[in-house]
Amino acid sequence: MRLFLLTALVMLAFAGNSLLNRAALAGDDGTGPAAFALLRLVSGAIVLLGITALRRPATDWTGLVRPWGALTLALYVQGFSFAYVSLATGVGALILFGGVQITMFLGAVVQGERIEPRRWLVAGVAFAGLVVLLWPAGAAVPDGAGAVLMAAAALGWGLYSLLGRGARDPLGKTAVNFALAVPLGAVCYWWVPDGIGTRGAVLAVVSGGLTSGVGYALWYTVLPRLASSAAAVAQLTVPLIAAAGGLLLLGEVPGLRFALAAVLVLGGVALSLIRR
């Protein structure tokens, strides 16, 4: 039961990132995506570095520096933040989730892994779900610029996950990558300066320090105790939790297009968990 509750808490944290980002940018206090992303990175770096230092005081920080990790993490955070200027909470989470799955699948192909026919089917079904969601016709078509930015965020997070596979100290590496991504966030803020209000600042700190920092720390705690299939199933809930939060707190009503896309994307991933 304790493991179940911790896993559920982590999924709420992951979905909370979408909800907090969208709530901050949809507010009326002048909060912009660049300032929100920068404050999220700073808050996440402080919390993650602190947790890592407390757990392992003698951590060799220099051995955890990976420039590509910081770059892909910055791409995720910036794309994620700017996408939610125009995307609904659940739609953004679904594009992110589906895009990460496809990115990691293509990464396996490029790395020469043997791909079973079933995995090709799974990737095709998930891709079909994104096509349904983004097809430029009919009602409730997501904003094109927002969809491209969230696809970039999915590419960043997918590559970040591929680079971190098999890492001996994933929490420490994530902490260092957050710290290294802060200057990149500052450059983005300098290039596209915007403001941040009190409400937006509070939401950014909560997103960086709590739902990102503490959320990642909890995830790396429970992940070794979960079967890979259970971890994948748990993550299937994130877009649905985000959509529910958008409905309850922001008044965003998911349409039929979102429902069909969610069935395809999440159903495709679920197919990969069915044993022969």
Q: What is the pLDDT at residue 140?
A: 67
Averaged pLDDT of the chain: 83
Categorize the per-residue pLDDT at 197 as very low, low, confident or very high, splitting at 50, 70 and 90.
Answer: very high
How many C-alpha atoms does 59 have within 13 Å on its Cβ side?
Answer: 22
Q: What count of other Cβ atoms lies within 10 Å of the Cβ of residue 214?
A: 17
pLDDT of residue 255: 80
Confidence of residue 260 (pLDDT cuts 50, 70, 90): confident
80: in domain: yes
In a domain, 89, yes or no: yes
In the chain, what percentage of residues exceed pLDDT 70?
86
Token readout for 14 is 């992951």
Residue 170: per-residue pLDDT = 81
Categorize the per-residue pLDDT at 191 as very low, low, confident or very high, splitting at 50, 70 and 90: very high
What is the per-residue pLDDT for 111? 75
pLDDT of residue 217: 85
Cα(36)–Cα(32) distance, integer angstroms? 6
Q: Is the pLDDT of residue 201 over 90?
A: yes
Assigned domain for 131 exists: yes
Q: What is the helix (H) or strand (E) element at residue 179, kind and residue range?
A: helix 170-191
Sign of CA dihedral 220, 226, 228, 231: negative
Burial class (CB in 10 A: 0-12, 13-18, 19+), 79: buried
Please tell me the total count of domains within the chain: 1
Nearest to residue 244, comparing CAs of 255, 254, 259?
254
Whether the per-residue pLDDT at 234 is higher than 70: the answer is no
pLDDT at position 74:
94
- Residue at 276 is within a domain: no
pLDDT tens for each residue of 123-136: 777 778 778 777 76
CB within 8 A of 50, min separation 6: which ones?
Answer: none
What is residue 60's predicted lDDT score, i.e. its pLDDT?
A: 67
Q: Is the pLDDT of residue 103 over 80?
A: yes
Cα–chain center distance at 20 = 12
Residue 39 pLDDT: 96
* Structure confidence by residue, pLDDT tens digits, 161-189: 777 766 678 888 888 999 999 999 999 99
Task: Look up residue 158 and give its amino acid.
Answer: G
Q: How many residues are recorded in the chain?
A: 276
pLDDT 10s digits, 216-233: 888 887 877 766 556 655
Instruction: Supply the pLDDT for residue 232.
Output: 59
Per-position DSSP letters for 197-233, written without gaps between them: -HHHHHHHHIIIIIIIIIHHHHHHHHGGGS-HHHHHH
Q: How far, in Å, CA of 268 to CA of 231, rounded?
A: 16
Nearest to 188 by CA among 42, 18, 61: 42
Q: Which residues pair with 144 in a beta bridge?
A: none
Range of the domain at 197: 2-271
Q: Which helix (H) or strand (E) covers residue 98, if one does?
A: helix 89-110
* pLDDT higher than 60, residue 158: yes
